[in-house]
C-alpha cells in the first residue's frame, strides 16, 4: 500500500513550513494538530504560524481527508481523489465595518480568484475595551492531490503576502 494524497501533502506542507521557520527564520510556527476522528474516520492536519516580524496576525493551513476521500483513493473508486484545503487567518480588529471591507479587497487582490472569503467576528461581551477577533477563511473549491505539490510554494507565498498586507490595516 502506498501513502495517500493526504499523507504526502501533509509532509510536503510540513517540510515547506518548517524550512521557513527553522532555516529561513521568516515565520514562527505557533501551533499544530494532526488528528483522526474515530467517529467519522476523518483525518485533519493544521499548522498555525505567524510572520517572524508580525506576531499579531496568525495564519493556518488545514488539510482534511474524509473517509470517502480515503476510500475513493485506496479502493480506486470512481470520483475525485485528494483532500480538502482551507486557509485561515486570525487578526484583531477595532473597526469592523471598515476593516472587514479592506480585508476582503486585499485578499481578493492577492489571491485573484473566485474563492469565497468568509469572515467571522467574535468579541467578549461586557468588556470595556471592545476589540474583535476576525477569523478569515479561504476555502479552495477543488481537492488537492500530488499533482498540486508544485503549487505549495506559491500557495505559501500568497499566504505570506496576505499576512504582510493585513498587517498594514
Q: pLDDT at position 122, please?
A: 96
- How many CB atoms lie under 10 A from the CB of residue 115? 14
Q: What is the pTM of this model?
A: 0.92
Give SS3 for 54: strand
Find the helix or strand (DSSP H, E) in which 106 lies.
helix 96-111
pLDDT of residue 44: 98
DSSP 22: I
CA–CA gap between residue 41 and residue 151 (Å, rounded)? 27
| CB contact burial 69-85 (16+ within 10 A = b; e otherwise) | bbebbeeeeeeebbbbb
Q: Where are the domains of the chain?
A: 5-166
**Among 138, 35, 33, 25, residue whose Cα is nearest residue 89:** 138
For residue 70 the three cell numbers come to: 480515503
In whole numbers, what is the pLDDT of the chain averaged over residues? 95
Do β-strands 117-122 and 27-37 pair in parallel, antiparallel, or remain unpaired?
Answer: unpaired
pLDDT in tens, the chain (169 residues): 789 999 999 999 999 999 999 999 999 999 999 999 999 999 999 999 999 999 999 999 999 999 999 999 999 899 889 999 999 999 999 999 999 999 999 999 999 877 899 999 999 888 778 889 999 999 998 999 999 999 999 999 999 999 999 999 9
| CA nearest to 163, candidates 61, 73, 78 | 61
What nine digits make up the cell of 86? Answer: 482551507
Amino acid at each position: 500500500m502506498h501513502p495517500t494524497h493526504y499523507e504526502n501533502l501533509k509532509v510536503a506542507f510540513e517540510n515547506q513550513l518548517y524550512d521557513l521557520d527553522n532555516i529561513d527564520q521568516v515565520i514562527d510556527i505557533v501551533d499544530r494538530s494532526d488528528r483522526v476522528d474515530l467517529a467519522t474516520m476523518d483525518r485533519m492536519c493544521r499548522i498555525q504560524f505567524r510572520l517572524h516580524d508580525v506576531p499579531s496576525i496568525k495564519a493556518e493551513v488545514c488539510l482534511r481527508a474524509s473517509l470517502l476521500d480515503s476510500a475513493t483513493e485506496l479502493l480506486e473508486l470512481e470520483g475525485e481523489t485528494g483532500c480538502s484545503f482551507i486557509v485561515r487567518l486570525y487578526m484583531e480588529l477595532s473597526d469592523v465595518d471598515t476593516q472587514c471591507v479592506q480585508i476582503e479587497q486585499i485578499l481578493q487582490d492577492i489571491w485573484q480568484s473566485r474563492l469565497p472569503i468568509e469572515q467571522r467576528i467574535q468579541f467578549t461581551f461586557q468588556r470595556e475595551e471592545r476589540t474583535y477577533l476576525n477569523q478569515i477563511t479561504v476555502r479552495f473549491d477543488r481537492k488537492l492531490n500530488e499533482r498540486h505539490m508544485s503549487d505549495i510554494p506559491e500557495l505559501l507565498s500568497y499566504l505570506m503576502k496576505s499576512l504582510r498586507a493585513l498587517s498594514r490595516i
